[in-house]
Structure 1
């Protein structure tokens, strides 16, 4: 196996780690524990399944660690296509990591409330439930902010995939469209309070999902056979 294929497979593995841990922590765990319209039930669910909530936090940490390494590995693979775009891809991806980790503090604060810290005994049940929902909503707003960079890095990444000559162009197009979808989604949810009620809200990030899952599987299974680099990169 060539060094390029080893790099591609490593990138595919890291991408798969990001996808699986992201699905677990951002979709599965909340679907099992959080009921937006019912603070009491949400409090009860988390209290009775604290370990699952903790696993969700741990999953997020693994996701962000893998996402720190992913653009660095992709840079090694794609820097000869266009050095400037490769650097931009890394910068935009890495900006999201500290924001994501800081945002996790909201979930640790939920744990503090759920596990009944002594200084919280002066608060009644309704107040505690309200605090938990406030922290969870604040966490979701943080995710909305970080989605800007989850989207922006996809444009230079998609461009590099499209121009590479050794990765499918259609996946590059999907990634670039995914950037647009993420950005539109963030601003729409910020400006239009009930944007999530619109049908388009369920599909606007679909190109990103197709592009990211597709490139993940391609790198993991196919690698970069017949890799050919043309002119010297523009830095």
Structure 2
């Protein structure tokens, strides 16, 4: 099976952009903005770091556009391994994108609430703060729902990596385990109060993180090595 290294490196580049924009918008920005259980402090941070908050929205939207393109490039690379699994990979990945785009309306609502427009005088300061926190909670709930598909696409993706013959099998294993990590986290948050602060919540995230970052860097730096024999 011929391997197109340019396609592999294109996928790696798109993956890297998706990873970096995701880390910035989903980890870095919230760490400078959100103060758990403290609405006034959170609102003050959004006002004080308004440009950072807006940049986080922009980077997240860019990341979702890139993530929409990524599975189609991966399909071109991996469909010779198993066309049905590759199609399933694309379907699961693409399903997350409209959810993620619509979810950012919650962040745009926060900017409207803190815009100082005349109509906002109908609300007390406490009411505005409560609405901001409600929008943040709605956004986080949207992320939780999207994470179902961020996990599901890793199962066929990991299978294809494992069977490809031109990507390390260990990365495929990590990706497949990572799928179940996402699903466990979703169920844990939904069913077990206080789950997010547990060690299990941190541990089950690791396989997906290692698998995705490893695959991203392998594709970008090495491309795809020629398999020793054709994949059946």
Q: Same fold (TM over 0.5)?
A: yes
User: Aligned-residue CA RMSD in angstroms?
Assistant: 1.1
Distance in 1 separating the partners of 2:58 and 2:171: 30
Matched, 1:230 2:231: yes
Query: What do residues 96-143 of structure 1 show as CA deviations (whole Å, max 9, x unaligned)?
Result: 000000000000000001112221111111111111011001100000
Unaligned runs of at least 5 residues, structure 2 = none
Q: Is 1:153 matched with 2:153?
A: yes
Q: Secondary structure at the match of 1:121?
A: helix
**2:119 aligns to what?**
119
Where does residue 195 of structure 1 map in the other structure? 195
**Aligned residue number for residue 183 of structure 1:** 183
Say if 2:163 is the partner of 1:163: yes
**Residues 1-235 of structure 1 aligned to structure 2 (within 5 Å):** 4-227=4-227, 229-231=230-232
Structure 1 pair 102/116, CA: closer, same or farther in 2 (3 Å)?
same
The whole-number CA distance in structure 1 between the counterparts of 2:114 and 2:55 is: 15
Unaligned runs of 5+ in 1: none
- C-alpha distance in structure 2 between counterparts of 1:229 and 1:80, whole Å: 10
Distance 2:42 2:30 in 1: 10
- Whether contact under 8 Å (1:166, 1:225) holds in the other structure is yes
CA contact (8 A) 1:154 1:176 kept: yes
| Cα-to-partner distance string for 1:18-44 (whole Å, 9 max, x where unaligned) | 100000000000100110121001111
SS of residue in 2 equivalent to 1:52:
helix
Give aligned pairs, total: 230
* C-alpha contact (below 8 Å) 2:3/2:77 kept by paired residues: no
Distance 1:134 1:230 in 2: 51
Structure 1 contact 104–139 (Cα < 8 Å) conserved: yes
Distance 2:94 2:230 in 1: 26
What stretches of structure 1 move > 3 A for 4+ residues in a row? none
Q: TM-score, normalised by structure 1?
A: 0.95
- Cα distance, 1:229 vs. partner? 3.6
Tell me how far apart the structure 2 counterparts of residues 71 and 6 of structure 1 sit (CA, whole Å).
Answer: 15
- In structure 2, C-alpha distance between the alignment counterparts of 1:71 and 1:229, rounded to whole Å: 23
Question: Contact between 2:178 and 2:206, CA under 8 Å: does it hold in 1?
Answer: yes
Change (3 A) 1:178 1:3: closer
Residues of 1 paired with 2:30 and 2:17: CA distance? 19
Quick check: 1:81–1:229 contact (8 Å CA) kept in 2?
no
